[in-house]
Structure 1
Amino acid sequence: MTVDTKPTFTIYYGTFVNPVSISDLEYVVTGAIGVNDKSGTIEFVERNVSSVDQVLADKASLLVQYTVNVISNTDKQASFFFPGFFDTHIHAPQYPNCGIFGKSTLLDWLETYTFPLESSLSNIDKAKFVYNKVIDRTLRSGTTTASYYATVHVGATKALADVALERGQRAFVGRVCMTQNSPDYYCDASEEAAQAADLEVIDYVTGLDPTRERVAPILTPRFAPSCTPATMKWMGQVMHERDLACQTHLSENVKEIAWVKELFPENDSYTDVYDKAGILGKRTILAHCVHLSDTEVATIKARGSGISHCPTSNSSITSGEAPMRRYLDAGVKCSLGTDLSGGYAPSVLEVARQALLVSRHVAMKSSRGDADKLSVAEVLCLGTIGGAQVCEMADQLGSFEVGKKWDAQLIDLEVENSPVDVFEWQEPRIGEGGEDLNRLENLVAKWLFGGDDRNVSRVWVDGRQVIGSK
């Protein structure tokens, strides 16, 4: 018996929707994307093709060296390939508390719900159980890359990195640093202990994936009130010495901002606290940013840092409405975060939906009116290419382009028990030109406003299918 030892190559044929900038989606009714399965890299993107046979013929000189597989979505009229989502702000240990926040706002919510739950994950078996649950749920919701906050515990943070790598999700994994103004039962023993713990986690995660392409360490000062100036300054030094990403919270809540002013009276603003510590850089993710001054926005732009917009959380715990159009117009990198469990949903699609609605509430109260609204295309771009830009990975991820990785989801609006009803006259039909594209654009809008994880048929990370039937 002859065994075919050729490497494999997959052609994804059919309809795809592609973010081409932070504000524009490309709609392709019939196209083909070729992926080298070994590297997970896109090697060609073809638009307006008539058949798979045409693609095979046109690419014969390339494909002769491979065993070729074809995955097509043309059997479904209301189906399309879409890049995987980025969740740039998510607290993995808080997943069990999704939807639990009562009438609280940020600071009392932390004391009442968050710190007790996070502290209980010192039990590594419990932590692994929770982390498997949250990674499974986010993958099933189309999230292929997530930036995770873990807990203060070294062992449990290592476990989160292990689970992410095992389950196939790209992940930044950070041990939460808390060296002051934290509960006695849940904080670092000292600044020196926090530094040693961070270095141990950084070395462990780097050992799991020295390329940092699949899992990578990320420095994680919880927020300015919970970290001493010396701790943050040390993080700034390590961040630059080891070329690390950083994530923290910024200007989420009015009372929090006032507290920061009391704690750091010598600083001009909340943003200035981080800037003086040296932790604002091109790979710094700043979650929330609901209440920023123009000076703070300018500083964030100048440092190349990015914002993670968390509208479900900001609404749920009454933090406010972030003016995202203002930040985008200023040229700041912006993305979306679920912020579990301040946010009630593990789905970036839900966050995109809420980002659009929050922008309309901002517009209703603004003298700028409609100019402050975000569009369907913009919020979906924030959840894909925007996340890649904030994580400084836009050369690798976030859209379907030659040389990028095949991190993707197959959306099916006609799946059994779909929350979205698509009528026959709304389905794109090959060969109808502009009408085709209009129908596809409308399908994407129906998905944004009505879809959920039931519509995610398959998910791939790095060219490997991690969700869905083969």
Structure 2
Amino acid sequence: MDSPQRPPLAHVFRGTFVHSRPSEPMEILHGHLLGVDDSGTIVFLEQADQQDQLAKKWGFKLSDIRELSNHEFFMPGMVDTHIHAPQYSFAGTRVDLPLLQWLTTYTFPTEAKYTDSDFAEEVYTRVVVCTANVIYLFDNIPEILSFIFIFSPDKFGQRAFVGKVCMDMNDTVPQYKESTADSVKETERVQPVITPRFGPSCTEDLLSALGNIAQARDLHVQSHISENEEEIKLVENMFPAYQNYTDLYDKNKLLTSKTVMAHACYLSEEELKLFSLRGAAISHCPSSNFS
């Protein structure tokens, strides 16, 4: 009987590999071979003394092996679970104000500049080149800019979960908000991450509509929660019918096993239990939380 046809290899590397396992926080593998097939899947990672057997099994020649130098090594790509592409232009600066004042003074005016497609493409390309291999991305997308960013990851072999930021309440910068209908319509065009900006920027109608989209299409969800105490009080005043901030998302079908919520600095024990029950995740963002 003929052996099953194996997919052709696109790459074979020899060198040092570093990764983590549950039983070992850092494992260093010296003198190993790694093979990658045409689909980008790693099909083997074995000791280099298995080279002849692997070459016979996978049909590669010794001349196909790319050797790393002594100072080079492979490691798994980083996954950034929370990044705002439009804010990358001032990353590491403008940290002198609390959240709500920071949004109105710096963030909203900067994000409004992204109607300039040249400016947007330049910043978004830097995001893709300089950040992680896989990103959960918050973006503000007036039509054409969505495509500029969505296709940028493909140029560099990066994977991205791109979410259109939804915000139908923003009286501080009136020109930088959208109607509930437009927000829902634009969200339906961009997949796969449903992205309400945060509780205070969305009406209950918008949150409900976004939750329905997420449920109907089994999509990922990302947003912010409990970043500072002023924000929590604002949510309590705006949505008194809900038990707490987490309940607001949960009742609107936005807290699921595919949800990533940023910050979560002040969640109660009750809220943490609900996160656990739903299987939702938290992106802690330590540098932002401490600033």
How high is the TM-score relative to the length of structure 1? Answer: 0.57
Partner SS, residue 256 of structure 1: helix
Structure 1 unmatched runs, 5+? 1-5, 203-216, 317-470
Which amino acid letter does the alignment assign opposite residue 130 of structure 2? R
Distance in 2 (alpha carbons) for counterparts of 1:294 and 1:68: 58
CA contact (8 A) 2:55 2:62 kept: no
Alignment-derived partner of residue 13 in structure 2: 12
Superposed counterparts of 1:100-249, under 5 Å: 100-138=93-131, 143-182=132-171, 183-188=173-178, 190-202=179-191, 217-249=192-224
Give the residue type in structure 1 aligned to 2:235: V
Work out the CA distance in 1 between the residues paired with 2:214 and 2:92. 34
Structure 1 position 298 matched with structure 2 position 273? yes
| Larger RCO of the pair (alpha carbons < 8 Å, separation 6+) | 1
Q: Secondary structure at the match of 1:195?
A: helix
Aligned partners of 1:22 and 1:288: how far apart in 2?
Answer: 28
The aligned runs of 1:334-413 (5 Å cut-off) are none
Cα drift, residue 152 of structure 1: 4.4
Deviation of residue 68 (structure 1)? 6.3
Q: Following superposition of structure 1 onto structure 2, how do residues 10-89 of structure 1 map, counting pairs within 5 Å?
A: 10-21=11-22, 24-36=25-37, 38-46=38-46, 49=47, 52=48, 54-64=49-59, 69-73=64-68, 75-76=69-70, 78-89=71-82
Change (3 A) 1:218 1:22: farther
For residues 269-297 of structure 1, give each alpha carbon's deviation from its aligned partner in whole angstroms, at most 9, with x where no partner exists: 11111001101111111001111111111
1:102 and 1:79 map into 2 onto residues whose CA distance is 36
Q: State the partner residue of 1:90.
A: 83
Change (3 A) 1:296 1:33: same
What is the TM-score normalised by the length of structure 2?
Answer: 0.91
- Cα distance, 1:149 vs structure 2: 0.8
Q: Match for 1:269: what amino acid?
A: N
Query: Are the aligned partners of 2:20 and 2:27 in contact in 1 as well (CA < 8 Å)?
Result: yes
Distance 1:68 1:194 in 2: 54
The separation in 2 between residues aligned to 1:152 and 1:226, in whole angstroms, is: 16
- In structure 2, the residue corresponding to 1:101 is in which secondary structure? coil
In structure 2, what is the Cα distance between the partners aligned to 1:79 and 1:11?
A: 15
SS at match of 1:175: strand
Report if aligned partners of 2:33, 2:51 keep a CA contact under 8 Å in 1. no
2-side partners of 1:68 and 1:94: how far apart? Answer: 45
8 A Cα contact 2:14 2:34, kept in partner: yes
Matching of residue 307 in structure 1 with residue 282 in structure 2: yes
Q: Residue in 1 aligned with 2:239?
A: 264
> Following the alignment from structure 1 to structure 2, what is the Cα–Cα distance between the partners of residues 7 and 158?
32
CA distance in 2, matches of 1:296, 1:12: 46
Task: Give secondary structure in 1 for the equivalent of 2:82.
Answer: strand
C-alpha separation in 1, matches of 2:160 and 2:205: 28
Contact 1:152 1:178 in 2 (8 A): no
Which whole-Å CA distance do the structure 2 matches of 1:154 and 1:244 have between them? 21
User: Within 5 A, what are the aligned runs for 1:430-469?
Assistant: none
User: How many residues are matched?
Assistant: 284
Alpha-carbon contact 1:94-1:117 (below 8 Å) kept: yes
Q: 2: CA distance between counterparts of 1:238 and 1:29?
A: 48
Q: CA deviation at 1:201?
A: 2.7
CA 1:193–1:254: 2 relative to 1, 3 Å: same
Q: Counterparts of 2:31 and 2:257 in 1: how far apart (Å)?
A: 37
Whole-Å separation in 1 of the counterparts to 2:126 and 2:15: 32
Q: Which runs of 5+ in 2 are unaligned?
A: 1-6
Contact 1:11–1:34 (8 Å) recurs in 2: yes
Q: Distance in 2 between matches of 1:276 and 1:66?
A: 58
Q: Which amino acid aligns with 2:33?
A: A
1:219–1:247 contact (8 Å) kept in structure 2: yes
For 2:146 and 2:108, the matched residues in 1 are separated by 16
The amino acid that maps onto 1:262 is N
Matched, 1:288 2:240: no
RMSD: 2.0
Give the structure 2 partner of residue 275 of structure 1.
250
Q: Deviations over 1:367-390 (max 9, x none)?
A: xxxxxxxxxxxxxxxxxxxxxxxx
- Taking the aligned partners of 2:120 and 2:162, their CA distance within structure 1 comes to 14
Q: Which amino acid aligns with 2:250?
A: D
Task: State the match for 2:3 in structure 1.
Answer: none
- Structure 2: distance between partners of 1:220 and 1:68: 48
Q: Distance in 2 between matches of 1:162 and 1:298?
A: 38
Amino acid at match of 2:40: G
